[in-house]
A and B are shown apart, each in its own frame.
Chain A
Amino acid sequence: MTEIPESLLRRSAEAKAKALGLPVEQVLAEMKGEAPPTPAPPSVEPEAAAETETTAAAEMEESAERSAEIEEAVEAVDDEPAPKEEVPAEPAAETEPDVVADTEADVPPAPPTEAPPIEDSEEALTPPASAEPSDEAGPETAPPSPPPAELPPEGGETVEPAAAAVTTAVEDRPTPEGDGAGDGAGSGNGADGGNGAGNGAGKVAAVVSTRPTVPPKGTPEGVRTQRLLTVVKARAIQTVKAEPTDKVNTWPHLMLMEFGALLAITGLVVIMSVVIHSPLLDPANFNATPNPSKAPWYFLGLQELLSYFDPQIAGVTVPTITGIIGFMIVPFVDKNPSTRPSDRKFAIALYSVFLAGAATLTIFGVLFRGLGFNFSYPWKDGVYFDVLKDWVQFE
């Protein structure tokens, strides 16, 4: 198991502590295995939690083996006991594996708390509903434990038709936790009955069986004590593929940064505006062409190219290809999936050449072009760029 980050552990502990009314530090220490477990509150029976815990652990193993096969979940619910039984089974099923997954199964019996935030996968959805037909099966499944007297201690050999029907889609597997429960009946039944459905986590994601699959004593042959409520596709509920990433709250961390940037750029513009005045030359005069006539600085690189090449090439081909087409198709030409600089030396070199070329041409056009757009030294012949004229003086 991978190391759980301290922050995640702490958040789980906080949620748990809130639910149990315990100090956070204590719960955190428990989760780390540094402190003895606190007895679980009476809402969940300790054995039940322990049971589901082992079940979940076993299921996690299984799911790890065959998680790819998870196709659907069969919810088989015993309809004999009171219907309220169906309700508590669900949250327990959803949350328990999370707790186990977080704490690596060596954690004391823990009641289901708020699910830890990150740990979610198909395992998390797999309920630990192993219908152990044993005396412990009652408390295992739901907090309001049904009277164990109803459950036959034996009867593993009695493969009930309904249970078999439920599990037809389920690969029969021996139950890993069957021997943990300590009764051969459970494991025997589990091998071919509803218990197998519960543990066939590889195939079935959620079998919620609140009661054992074995009919009570005296049930006539062929009478169904179980019915299929619904078939739930495991993937339809939740599939999270994203890896947990290290994130911070936008407020205040990013916002503060942006506010600082906003202030800085506004300050820069204001200071520039106070110090440097915008040029305002003589009124427009169609009869007096200034010498030289220069385009705005961001087009000066282009104008520079125009002075070297035929206008059809410099004014059209180069800017069109590099500018519009070239830039737009970059992501479709660059098929290299890596973003690491060491993997994309060619792309970086190409762009750097473009950048350096554009900068050189622009600077050259701004500073080194004098009368008649001919070459001139700015320190000798002066700057022929009107925007700079007022405030850049070479003596």
Chain B
Amino acid sequence: MANGNGKTGIGEKIKEVSDKVWGSQVAESILRPGSPFKKGYSDSPRNRSYVVMNNVLYHLHPVKVKRHGVKLSYTLCLGGLSFFLFILLTITGIFLMFYYTPSAETAYADIEALSTNVAFGSLVRNMHRWGAHLMVLSVFLHMSRVFYHGAYKPPREFNWVVGVVLLFLTLLLSFSGYLLPWDQLALWAVTVGTNMAGFVPVVGNEVKFALLAGVEVSGATLLRFYVLHVLALPFILVIFLAVHFWRVRKDGGISGPL
């Protein structure tokens, strides 16, 4: 297209190239109908629906949501933030797993090396730690928000119960991660924590023994907490998360306005 002087402008060239890329067979095959990146996407109610329906991640959401739910002041996005933090913790946690061995001999040295020798190691470890604390906080605040809105009332009773399970799983995840640096803070915080579990009547000592893999914190405890932390508890948590999200949708979306 001429722009006055018969030359093609840089903007037009970019458009030409991007049209070629996004109109190619590869892009066409990847992008489902309604994707905003698809060539020729236009903003229409139909396409707005497709964006949500045709995307594996977005389709957690309904096509439309209640208007009041979009306001930040209603939910403060606390449930969403908890989920984001979980994702963030998964990503940073996978990074940390590359540099960590769950044995009493090497664990501490691994953390030290991670903080000093590994590129971005300190940053990622910090992110993992503060993200975990924030997640405990946001899950708890999410629960408080739900309570204050009375959003646990029928038909959402079961989802509230699932949510309580998720809170305890979050606490357990955070607690099991506490031991992994194998420093004085970790050792004695876990000692105090598991001692509290030992006060449970009838099964207290059994629970404590199962957690510690012995009568007191040891190298076996470290391995146990590690496996719980990186595999067992996230696995259970994801299952409950799926049920939680599913029920949010099936119980009629987020609760009504006050």
Chain A residues with Cβ below 8 Å from B150 are: 334, 338-340, 344, 347
The A344-364 residues at the B interface (CB cut-off 8 A) are 344, 347-348, 351, 355
| A279 within 8 A of partner (CB) | yes
* Number of chain B residues close to chain A: CB under 8 A: 84
CA gap between A303 and B196 in the complex, in Å: 8
CA gap between A277 and B111 in the complex, in Å: 13
The answer to whether B184 and A284 have CB atoms under 8 Å apart is: yes
Best-buried of B63, B77, B168, B188 by chain A (most CB within 10 Å): B188
Selected from A252, A289, A306, the residue in CB contact (under 8 A) with B48 is: A252
| A394 within 8 A of partner (CB) | no
The answer to whether A324 and B168 have CB atoms under 8 Å apart is: yes
Give chain B's interface secondary structure class.
helix
A276 and B126 in contact (CB under 8 A), knowing A283-B183, A315-B196, A351-B144?
yes
A330 and B147 in contact (CB under 8 A), knowing A282-B184, A339-B258?
yes
Mask, A257-297, CB within 8 Å of B = 1, is: 11001100110111011101111111111101110011111
* Number of chain A residues close to chain B: CB under 8 A: 74
The answer to whether B81 and A261 have CB atoms under 8 Å apart is: yes
Selected from A279, A331, A351, the residue in CB contact (under 8 A) with B148 is: A351
The answer to whether A258 and B77 have CB atoms under 8 Å apart is: yes
The answer to whether B183 and A251 have CB atoms under 8 Å apart is: no
Best-buried of A248, A294, A348 by chain B (most CB within 10 Å): A248
Selected from A284, A296, A327, the residue in CB contact (under 8 A) with B193 is: A296
| A298 within 8 A of partner (CB) | yes
The B110-165 residues at the A interface (CB cut-off 8 A) are 111-112, 115, 122-127, 129-131, 133-134, 136, 143-144, 147-154, 156-157, 160-161, 164
Selected from B125, B130, B136, the residue in CB contact (under 8 A) with A298 is: B136
B255 to chain A: closest residue by CB: A339
The answer to whether A286 and B122 have CB atoms under 8 Å apart is: no
A288 to chain B: closest residue by CB: B184
Mask, B80-124, CB within 8 Å of A = 1, is: 110011001000000000000000100010011001000000111
A250 and B183 in contact (CB under 8 A), knowing A258-B80, A268-B134, A331-B156?
no
Selected from B122, B153, B187, the residue in CB contact (under 8 A) with A277 is: B122
A273 and B130 in contact (CB under 8 A), knowing A249-B48, A262-B84, A298-B136?
yes
A-B complex: 6 closest residue pairs judged by Cβ atoms: A315-B199, A273-B126, A339-B150, A331-B157, A284-B187, A247-B64
Binding site for B on A (CB under 8 A): 245-255, 257-258, 261-262, 265-266, 268-270, 272-274, 276-286, 288-290, 293-299, 302-303, 306, 311-312, 314-316, 320, 323-324, 327-328, 330-332, 334, 336-341, 344, 347-348, 351, 355, 386-387
A selection of 16 A-B contacts at a CB cut-off of 8 Å is A249-B49, A252-B48, A254-B61, A265-B84, A270-B127, A286-B216, A289-B188, A290-B185, A290-B188, A295-B189, A311-B199, A315-B200, A324-B164, A331-B157, A331-B161, A334-B152
